Chain A
Amino acid sequence: MIESGFDRRDFLKVLGWGGAAVALTGCGNTSVQDGKETVVSYVEASDYMIPGVSVYFNSTCTQCEASCNINGRVREGRVLKLEGNAASAINRGKLCGLGQAGVQHHYNPDRVREPLLRKGTSGETITWEAALKLINEKLTGVSGDQIAFLSGSVSGHLKVLLGNYMDSLSSKNHFVYEAISPAVQRAANKKSYGVEMPKFSLNKAKVILSFGADFLGSWVSPVHFSQQYAQFRKGVEGKRGVLVQVESKMTLTGANADRWLAVRPGTEGVLALGLVNALGAAGTALSADVAAAVKDFDKARVTKDTGVSGEHLDKLVALLKERTPSLVLSGNGAEGYAHGSQNAAAINLLNHVLGNVGKTIEAPAVVPFPQMLSANGNSASLKKLNDGMAAGNYKVLFTYAANPVFTAPASMKLADSLNKVGFKVAFAHYMDETAMAADLVLPLDSALEDWGTHIAEYQPEGGQISIQQPLMEKLHANTRGAGDILLALIKQRRAEEYKAFEDYYAYLRTAVLQNKAALGGGAAEDDTFWDETLTSGIVKVAGATTALSGSTAVTAPVAAASDAQYPLFLIPGITANLRDGRHANQPWLQESPDPLTTIVWDSWVEIHPKKAAELGIVEGDMVEVTSKSGSVKAQAYLFPGIHPDAISIPLGRGQSWGRYAKGNGVNPFQILDAVFDKETGELAINETRVQIKKTSKRVIVIKDEGSAGGKQFGRKIAVSVSSNEVDLSKEV
């Protein structure tokens, strides 16, 4: 026997403990034993909370303006995942990547947590009482004309409250701004159809001809349209729908087209009028006015101007004649020019000529609460505000859900104008560029902590009000909802009227219950109706429909002359994930590859391989893109889906804040020329002309397409089949 003070039993004890300790700390994230975290994070749990069992709450996504209805999975008091709400007419249980990243907005480590007051170049934490008192002081003695409120698109009770607050200040200066919006389209639709946003029935169309409308990616209500698109592909009467996309820079929708037609930038309207002319020649009835308006757009001219071949033109005309109804859409690709409104009108004319109005373009349902309907943002309003600020008209400026310092072109000199405003208050989630320029920053609750009602601008079926409710307790004690802040502010003016409302929740509940009957509550008890409303997250209301009307008047779109010094068009890319960049600090969105280029975490310059060869540029060359208004440097990516006369840089990157956003890429908003659509005054985002210069630096493009550059080399990985070889109607 070997004598030893260390027996087997003791040894096992040691090993056992060691093993347990490793197991417990192995995952490194949570540990009950070391007391860092408790498994159930509250003392008294609600009845329905069972540790280990998830509960689901309905709410509304606020990542974009589509107001998709969401269903949040909550476990142990924490929201874990967002899904779509299956009862929603908008998204029917589905949710895009941007929407799902809403949890990363909520849990974002870079959120503002305390009210901050500017002290020189830095911010000093102050209390809410002090912040609100300060606002009151700054507003004292200032007339309503000298106060402005800049917000993103806003609807529901928040819009009502905001309107009332502006009334209490005797101010009419509420500017609703979205850097990327279908504002030109709204104006064109109003003229063509009598409504700003009709109902588009993609699923009833046999052919969709889209002029730069990225309805699968970022246009109006992408999740809704994606679902309609799936039905459209399965086909009406068993005949698979055909998508033809006309644009200068391929979008996600373009990448899914049966035929993608590269059009010379800005000539979309010419092509549309050419199609009308050709349809007339092929026997489609045209009114005398229309025939006169399009008579100059013969095939020779159209092919010459647009670069689209006569063969494709003929096939397209034949297709549109043969398969009806069709649907013609106009989007940012066609509208972002100084003649954008004319392009949109010409494109809308096609719907009249093809008889689509009333079939695939229908009257929308209008929610019968006009004061709550969405105030839709555009960029013309920013110009107006900017002009006012530059003239020194405003002493106090509030900003909410907008980051104009980042999204306004540098040529607008917005930062200088802001300096002329005496006191700037930013309602902020992050210390973004606009919050950094503010004098007072008010930290907001995340969308998953806040109450709200939303009425989407695009209403697919009937009318619906989407309810937003908190999915969990507030993460940070000192953030507040925008509604709560506005309520506190309005109490400074109209204490009597609002004294009954302790908080925004109370206001919202009272407001909803006051309209119980109109909201379909009937004779239900208040509490019952309220609970039902929160449970479903959707209030369906009988929407009034207005009949479509409208004119077919068009003026021939005139493109701006080319510029020898700046020969290329800069068409900023609007990506489904990043859009205008407000969510760029959500890492899932940064690491999610751009569908078309597969690039991650950075900006790039899309350039056609032919043009690149001409300029001696290869992939990864850092190129300098210079416009009249400035220049940016980014890596080149050779991209076949772009017209050789254009280049594209995606929007949404180049922030100066946020651990996941900062330092990744460049902000092409900066170098946009201040050119505006002639009719609506919208910023013409595709109108900037640039020159491109290779620098001496070359980098490795960080992308997901693999070393083969997205080629299959004969292996059958992603396979295509021609439509005449299959019959989808026979499929399960």
Chain B
Amino acid sequence: MSVTNLLENWSQFRHFHPVDDKPHDPYKWAMSIDLDTCTGCNACSVACFAENNIPVVGKDKFEHGQQMHWMRIERYWDEDVSNPGGRDFPDQGAQFLPMMCQQCEAAPCETVCPVAATNHTPDGLNSQIYNRCIGSRYCSANCPFKVRYFNWYDYPTDDSVWPAEMNQQLNPDVSVRSKGVMEKCTFCVQRISAAKVTAKNEGRLVHEGEIQTACQQACPTNAITFGNLVDTESRVHKQWEAQRVEIDKDKQEKDEEKGGTDLRGYRILEELRAYPSVMYLERVRESAV
């Protein structure tokens, strides 16, 4: 196989999940986040702490980069702000971007795990098996989005994290992770599983709107949409379709055409061909002021 052939027909060679030409039936969980309505308020991030038993690490560990927030709000200034020759003020505001595991279809983290602790589920999640993880941290090193968080300490036994009474808040549906394992956003897999079980018991598929991730549920501006990309009735499917973003492409219609396409859907670092399951909608700024 020549390199040219490999590059030209990359999508055929790159393995998608599940295999056998039956991609994602009946579920493929995906998200879209509208950066024009996201205000950067952090409600999603706090909701994630509450739902997923994320330890609060404190000042010193935060300083060492050991924070555990699965969902973080990245804040960017326009490039020329307060640079020599640039604008003095960020007079078009800041840019906020909620960043969490992008649940890539060809996840770079999965291929490097020596013990297959992180792998792909048939419904398109990049899952993390805590009791298989040996803490090599290769996955984190290989993650282009830097959204994997390692337990450097045994937080459940650390009295500053969940002291008496505070531990009663822990969500019994989510494992409390111990020292030496990697963790990350799961798209609130416990909520997905619960809904799937209910649906299965009732002999049907999960409806649109039946599952809300914790971040989506909290978001005061409804910037986050989550759902089943396979379901043509789902809002997330409609949004992806309207924005012409296709999950198995590394270049979208928007990238092909220059100038006003009326499209603002994009995926981050798409050129790396990780095929993320999260589509962002570009922030809009008024041209008249």
Q: Which residues of A contact B (CB under 8 A)?
A: 26-29, 52, 75-76, 78-84, 91, 93-97, 100-101, 103-104, 107-109, 216-217, 222-223, 226-227, 229-230, 233-234, 240, 242, 244-245, 250, 252-262, 312, 315-316, 318-319, 475, 576-577, 587-593, 595-596, 598, 600-602, 608-610, 638, 640-641, 644, 659, 664, 700, 702, 704-706, 710-728, 730-732
Q: Are A595 and B218 in contact (CB under 8 A)?
A: no
State whether the Cβ of B275 lies closer than 8 Å to any Cβ in chain A.
no
Chain A residues, Cβ within 8 Å of B288:
242, 315, 318-319, 723
Q: Are A258 and B264 in contact (CB under 8 A)?
A: no
* Shortest beta-carbon distance from A353 to chain B in Å: 19
Q: Are B160 and A659 in contact (CB under 8 A)?
A: yes
Q: Are B285 and A718 in contact (CB under 8 A)?
A: no
State whether the Cβ of B256 lies closer than 8 Å to any Cβ in chain A.
no
| Separation of A106 and B269 alpha carbons in the complex (Å) | 42
Contact with A along B11-35 (1 / 0, CB 8 A): 0000000000000000000000001
Q: Are B218 and A717 in contact (CB under 8 A)?
A: no
**Known contacts A255-B96, A256-B39, A732-B235: does B170 contact A588 (CB below 8 Å)?**
no
* Shortest beta-carbon distance from B95 to chain A in Å: 4
Chain B residues, Cβ within 8 Å of A608:
82, 88
| Separation of A28 and B156 alpha carbons in the complex (Å) | 6
Question: Taking CB as reference atom, which chain A residue is nearest B165?
Answer: A107
| Separation of A366 and B82 alpha carbons in the complex (Å) | 48
State whether the Cβ of B75 lies closer than 8 Å to any Cβ in chain A.
yes
Q: Are A721 and B264 in contact (CB under 8 A)?
A: yes
**Known contacts A233-B37, A710-B77, A718-B74: does B218 contact A724 (CB below 8 Å)?**
no
Chain B residues, Cβ within 8 Å of A244:
289
Q: Are B154 and A723 in contact (CB under 8 A)?
A: no
Partner among B40, B76, B154 whose Cβ is within 8 Å of the Cβ of A256 = B40
State whether the Cβ of B89 lies closer than 8 Å to any Cβ in chain A.
yes
Chain A residues, Cβ within 8 Å of B280:
718-719
Q: Are B221 and A229 in contact (CB under 8 A)?
A: yes
**Known contacts A108-B165, A610-B88, A702-B59: does B41 contact A720 (CB below 8 Å)?**
no
Question: Taking CB as reference atom, which chain B residue is nearest A261?
Answer: B91
Q: Are B50 and A103 in contact (CB under 8 A)?
A: yes
Q: Are A100 and B43 in contact (CB under 8 A)?
A: yes
Contact with A along B64-105 (1 / 0, CB 8 A): 000101001111110101100000111111111100000000
Question: Taking CB as reference atom, which chain A residue is nearest B166?
Answer: A107
Q: Are A260 and B220 in contact (CB under 8 A)?
A: no
Q: Are B89 and A595 in contact (CB under 8 A)?
A: no
Chain A residues, Cβ within 8 Å of B81:
640
Q: Are A723 and B287 in contact (CB under 8 A)?
A: yes
A-contacting residues, B37-54, CB 8 Å? 37, 39-43, 45-47, 49-51
User: Can you show 12 pairs from A to B with CB atoms below 8 A apart?
Assistant: A96-B218, A227-B220, A242-B288, A259-B92, A260-B89, A319-B288, A591-B49, A659-B160, A710-B74, A718-B97, A723-B286, A726-B262
A-contacting residues, B104-163, CB 8 Å? 154, 156-157, 160, 162-163
Partner among A80, A259, A592, A725 whose Cβ is within 8 Å of the Cβ of B46 = A592
Q: Which residues of B contact A (CB under 8 A)?
A: 35-37, 39-43, 45-47, 49-51, 56-59, 62-63, 67, 69, 72-77, 79, 81-82, 88-97, 154, 156-157, 160, 162-172, 175-176, 178, 214, 217-223, 235, 238-239, 241-242, 259-264, 266, 268-269, 280, 282-289
Known: A94-B220, A227-B220, A230-B221. 20 other contacts (CB 8 A): A29-B156, A80-B172, A84-B218, A95-B47, A107-B169, A226-B41, A255-B93, A260-B90, A261-B91, A587-B56, A588-B56, A590-B56, A598-B75, A601-B59, A610-B88, A705-B75, A706-B74, A717-B74, A726-B260, A732-B242
**Known contacts A100-B218, A258-B92, A595-B96: does B77 contact A720 (CB below 8 Å)?**
no
CB-based closest 10 A-B pairs: A97-B46, A226-B220, A230-B221, A258-B286, A601-B59, A28-B156, A255-B94, A718-B95, A718-B97, A587-B56
Q: Are B284 and A728 in contact (CB under 8 A)?
A: yes
Q: Are A591 and B57 in contact (CB under 8 A)?
A: yes
Question: Taking CB as reference atom, which chain A residue is nearest B240?
Answer: A732
Question: Taking CB as reference atom, which chain B residue is nearest A244?
Answer: B289
Chain B residues, Cβ within 8 Å of A596:
75, 94
| Separation of A640 and B87 alpha carbons in the complex (Å) | 9
Question: Taking CB as reference atom, which chain B residue is nearest A258?
Answer: B286
Among A83, A84, A319, A719, chain B packs the most CB atoms within 10 A around the CB of A719
| Separation of A427 and B123 alpha carbons in the complex (Å) | 53
Chain A residues, Cβ within 8 Å of B94:
250, 255-256, 595-596, 641
Partner among B76, B93, B218 whose Cβ is within 8 Å of the Cβ of A95 = B218
| Separation of A29 and B235 alpha carbons in the complex (Å) | 39
* Shortest beta-carbon distance from A3 to chain B in Å: 37
| Separation of A103 and B91 alpha carbons in the complex (Å) | 37
**Known contacts A592-B46, A725-B260: does B218 contact A609 (CB below 8 Å)?**
no
Chain A residues, Cβ within 8 Å of B218:
83-84, 94-97, 100
Q: Are A259 and B41 in contact (CB under 8 A)?
A: no
Q: Are A595 and B42 in contact (CB under 8 A)?
A: yes
